[in-house]
Amino acid sequence: MTPKEMLAKLVSFNTESQRSNLDLIHFCRDYLASLGVESRLAPSPDGQKANLYATIGPRRDGGIVLSGHTDVVPVAGQDWTSDPWTLTERDGKLYGRGACDMKGFDALALALVPEMLAAPLERPIHIALSYDEEVGCLGARVMIASMQQEGLKPSAVIVGEPSMMKVVTGHKGGLRMRTAIRGHAVHSSRIDVGVSAVMVAGELIHWHNTTMAENKARTPAGNGFEPPYSTLHVGVVQGGTAVNIAAEHCTFAHEVRCIPGELQEAYAERYRAKLAEVEAGMKAVAPETGIALEITSSTPAMGPETDGAAEALCRRLTGDNGRHVVAYGTEGGLFQGAGWSTVVCGPGDIAQAHQPDEFIAVEQLEAGERFVRGLIADLSR
Ligand SMILES: [Zn+2]
CA 98 / ligand 1 centre spacing (Å) = 8
Task: Judge if 74 and 215 occupy the same domain.
Answer: no
23-33 average pLDDT score: 98
CA 147–ligand 1 middle distance (angstroms): 21
With CA atoms as reference, report the closest residue to 328 among 302, 309, 347: 302
Q: Tell how far the Cα of 196 is from the centroid of ligand 1, in angstroms.
A: 41
| Cα 314 from Cα 65, distance rounded (Å) | 12
Provide the annotated active-site residues.
Answer: 71, 133
User: How many Å apart are CA 347 and CA 132, to the nearest integer?
Assistant: 20
What CATH number does the domain containing 274 carry? 3.30.70.360
Q: What is the pLDDT of residues 187-215, one digit of tens each?
A: 999 999 999 999 999 999 999 999 999 99
How far apart are the C-alpha atoms of 56 and 117, rounded to whole Å?
A: 7
Ligand 1 centroid – CA 134 distance (Å):
7
Whole-prediction pTM: 0.90
Residues in the 5 Å CB sphere of ion ligand 1:
101-102, 161
Identify the domain boundary among 270, 299, 328: 299
Q: Report how far ligand 1's centroid is from the alpha carbon of 104 (Å).
A: 10
Say if residue 191 is in the same domain as residue 138. Answer: no
Mean pLDDT, to the nearest integer, of 315-327?
Answer: 93
Please report which confidence band the pLDDT of residue 318 belongs to, taking 50, 70 and 90 as the band edges: very high
Q: What percent of the chain has pLDDT over 90?
A: 97
CA angle 202, 206, 210 (to 5 degrees): 175
Q: Do 222 and 141 belong together in one domain?
A: no
Q: Is 104 left (phi over 0), alpha (psi -120 to 50) or beta?
A: alpha
- Counted domains in the chain: 2
Quick one: pLDDT at residue 121? Answer: 97
State the pLDDT at residue 328. 86
Domain boundary among 299, 323, 353: 299
Integer Cα distance of 155 and 62 in angstroms: 5
Predicted pLDDT at 146? 98
φ/ψ bin of 348: left (φ > 0), alpha (ψ from -120 to 50), beta (otherwise):
left
Altogether, the residues listed in the chain come to a count of 381
Q: What is the mean pLDDT of residues 143-164?
A: 97
What pLDDT, in 10s, does the model give residues 228-246?
999 999 999 999 999 999 9
Strand runs (DSSP E) across 63-172, as ranges? 64-69, 88-90, 93-95, 125-130, 156-159, 168-171
Rounded Cα distance, 294 and 25, in Å: 31
149 plus 244 within the same structural domain: no
CA of 211 to the centre of ligand 1 (A): 30
Q: Is the link from the previous residue into 102 a cis peptide, with omega within 30 of 0?
A: yes
Residues 30 and 166 in one domain: yes
Average pLDDT estimate for 206-225: 96
Within a 10 A sphere around the Cβ of 376, how many other Cβ atoms? Answer: 22
Same domain (yes/no): 50, 102: yes
What single-letter amino acid sits at 199?
M
pLDDT band at 381 (very low <50, low <70, confident <90, very high): confident
Domain boundary, last residue among 299, 314, 332: 299
Instruction: Check residue 88 and give its pLDDT.
Output: 98
CB atoms under 10 Å from CB of 321, counted, come to 7
CA of 330 relative to ligand 1 center, distance in Å: 7
Q: What is the pLDDT of residue 114?
A: 98
Tell me, what CATH number does 111's domain have? Answer: 3.40.630.10
> What was the pLDDT predicted at 355?
96
Amino acid 105: pLDDT: 98
How many other C-beta atoms can be found within 10 angstroms of the C-beta atom of residue 263? 15
Residues 156/286, Cβ–Cβ less than 8 Å? no
How confident is the model over 46-87, as pLDDT tens digits? 999 999 999 999 999 999 999 999 999 999 999 999 999 999
Confidence label for 292 from pLDDT (cuts 50, 70 and 90): very high
Lowest mean pLDDT among 8-17, 163-172, 221-230: 221-230
Residue 160 and residue 38 share a domain = yes
Domain that holds residue 242: 173-299
pLDDT-derived band at 156 (thresholds 50, 70, 90) equals very high
Between CA 201 and CA 181 the distance in angstroms is 7
**What do you get for the CA distance between the two ends of the chain, in Å?**
26
Ligand 1 centre and the CA of 230: distance in Å?
22
* Residue 69 alpha carbon to ligand 1 centre in Å: 7
Report the pLDDT value the prediction gives residue 164, as an integer from 0 to 100. 97
Do 352 and 214 have their domain in common?
no
Q: Which residues contact 322 (CB under 8 A, 6 or more apart)?
A: 166, 167
Give residue 327's pLDDT.
Answer: 82
- Could you tell me the pLDDT band of residue 145, with boundaries at 50, 70 and 90? very high
Q: Do 197 and 95 fall into the same domain?
A: no
**What is the CA(329)–ligand 1 centre distance, in A?**
8
Q: What average pLDDT score do residues 250-264 get? A: 95
pLDDT at 126 exceeding the cut of 90: yes
* Cβ-contact 16, 75 below 8 angstroms: yes
Nearest-angstrom CA–CA distance, 319 and 314? 8
